[in-house]
Amino acid sequence: MKRPALATLLCLPGTLFAVEPDRDEALKLADVVISANRQVESRSTSSAASTVFTRADIDRLQPPGVTDLLRRVPGVQVAPTGGRSSVPGIFIRGTKTAQALVLVDGVRIANATSGDSGLQFLDIDQVERVEVLRGSRSAVYGSDAIGGVIQIFTRRSSGPGLQPRLHLAGGSQHTWQRSLGLSGGDDATRFNLGASLDESAGIDATGPSFASDADHEAYRNRSLNLSLSHTFNERFEAGLNLLDSQGRSEYDNPYGRFDPVTFDSLAQKPYTDFTVSSLGSYLDAQLSERWHSRLELGHSENRSESRDKLSSERSAFNTYRDQLTWQNTLTLSEQHSLSAGVDGYQDRVHASERLARDSRWNRAAFVQHRFEGEHFNTELGVRRDQNQQYGGQTSWSASLGVPLNPANDLLLSYSEGFRAPTFNDLYYPGYSNPTLDPEHSKSVELQWRSRLSSDSRLEASLYRTELRDAIVFAGLQPENVAAARINGFELSLDQRWGAWQSQLGLALIDPRDRDSGHTLARRARRTLSLDLDRQFDAFSVGASWQAVSASFDGEDNRQRLAGHGVLGLRGEWSASPALKLRLSLDNLLDTSYSRALYSFDGASYGYREEGRTWLMSVTWTPAL
């Protein structure tokens, strides 16, 4: 019953459907989006500006990690502090890292103390799909979705029967990757089980620093993925999805470790033991032809314990989160549909520093109405959150879509967003403020979507975001004192010329502090991403070019980060239907650049990024 609905969805994107299309099948498709409203819908009719990477895209682009995919999204900037395992700043439309909601199979994974999600620790081989929504979705998801939403979908079954896979890779910095998986099933039951081990000697992330920081920062990651679904009949389906990543990441500390009595500098070899895991289960029910219901239960853990090999020092910040979502979609008529539900989660924090409070709950209800007419369509949504710490918040969203002709659409939208303060903001001893209010945003956006031909798709967005009550450190404590205004323009173009395939992403942004007029830190005003691929029977080749303009590391705009461009090449040979050999060359021109600064001995220096690197891999998927 669900598979015909999926085909109908793709053929008639302007029509509403009573039957929820099959999600596992939809995850393979580039023309649908799930994260915008927590249900499968055509990208052409969704109100969200979105970018989708399927498993086929991941195999073609050969990115080292999830954050390397995000660099290709117009309006998204990634600012790491060293090599591939370093903590990245992720800025969606000029907003900061903690203002983007990150989900794995619908489950929140961010650390409730720092706001960081640990995306650098998710193994790309365990990922089926990545969806990136640009613009606030707080009316759907509540807190944190000011800049947008990043959702990772874990690996799924490739079809009936058994499909084993083996992936081995080796490359620069003594990098070794091993991955083993098995997927399959029948018409009723589907499963995927995968495990991987990723190791690298890393690079020296800092130049001038303490002598003990001169070593390379090694990295080790063990990942496990399990997905299982069972269809009881044409109306009921249940399943679960598990992702668990654990390992160790070494890092440099240019700010040093000192003797508490003499203040002499001490040798150091710091590292972090990390865990990022999520477990989600669901019950999907087609209760009638007009009523679809989905219940989701989730648990996530984001654990970080920092130690030093040369001392007994220890710092731990662990988040444990339980989550429940119940969503109902009602098809009222051929033109009207209503989506409503409840959402709740509870955060528990275990930290080495004693916090005044170590748990809080959040409960919410949301409703959204959608109208699909011949000459226009509308979407109106509202969500009410009630939080144990900061009280109630109401978020609204609205959109109006107008089809100019069969090939061109205009979409005008308004959205509100908010972000709750983290536990560190509120309760960290000596450096917190328990009276903080949530951050708030209001955004307006105009989108133009054009299907120039069957081989060409153009999307452009013009937007403005107003931020208020932004949390910044005023002295030693955070305060709600900052305000910002962000104007931006984004353009993406997907084009095919026979066997050639290209994706172009361009973003222009003006993110300013309202009080000082300065540009927000680590936000480049111009970014460009271009991917070009060509298929030659059993061979394929591709190239990537990513360019980033200059930015400033500090809010005072005194420390400038130079712009840069990075070129990458890749190739693949299908030696047989079951055997693929791949080679990627990243930063081919060995460009030296930094996206963040650190201080040492009163001077500022840039964190090093990886130079020219290579990775060769073999993937074997034998038929059983």
Span 60-116, pLDDT tens digits: 999 999 999 999 999 999 999 888 889 899 999 999 999 999 999 999 999 999 999
Q: What is the pLDDT of residue 19?
A: 55
What span, in angstroms and rounded, lies between the C-alpha atoms of 284 and 575?
Answer: 41
Lookup: tokens for 489: 């323009």
Q: Which residues lie across from 34 on neighbouring strands?
A: none
Residue 59 CB partners (closer than 8 Å, separation 6+): none
Give residue 15's pLDDT: 42
Cα diameter, the chain: 77
Partners of 220 in beta bridges? 199, 248
331 in Cβ contact with 337 (< 8 Å)? yes
Is residue 8 within 8 A of residue 25, CB to CB? The reply is no
- pTM here is 0.95
Say how many CA atoms lie within 13 Å of 460 toward its Cβ: 9
Pick the CATH number of 2-620 from 3.40.640.10, 2.40.170.20, 2.40.110.10, 2.40.30.10: 2.40.170.20
Task: Confirm if 60 and 540 have CB atoms less than 8 A apart.
Answer: yes
Task: Tell me the C-alpha distance between 172 and 519, whole Å.
Answer: 36
The per-residue pLDDT for 319 is 97
Sequence ranges of the domains in the chain: 2-620
pLDDT on residue 541: 98
Q: How far apart are CA 34 and CA 57, in angstroms?
A: 17
As given in the structure block, the two tokens for residue 422 are 């983290």
Q: Are 599 and 159 in contact (CB under 8 A)?
A: no
pLDDT in tens, 2-30: 544 454 444 444 444 445 668 889 999 99
Query: How high is the mean pLDDT in each 10-residue block of the chain (624 residues)?
Result: 48 47 87 95 93 96 95 96 89 96 97 94 96 97 97 92 96 96 94 97 92 90 97 95 97 82 80 97 96 97 94 93 98 96 97 93 98 95 94 96 95 97 93 94 98 92 97 86 95 93 97 94 97 95 98 93 97 96 97 93 92 97 90
Tokens standing for residue 154? 């874990």
Determine the pLDDT at residue 623. 86
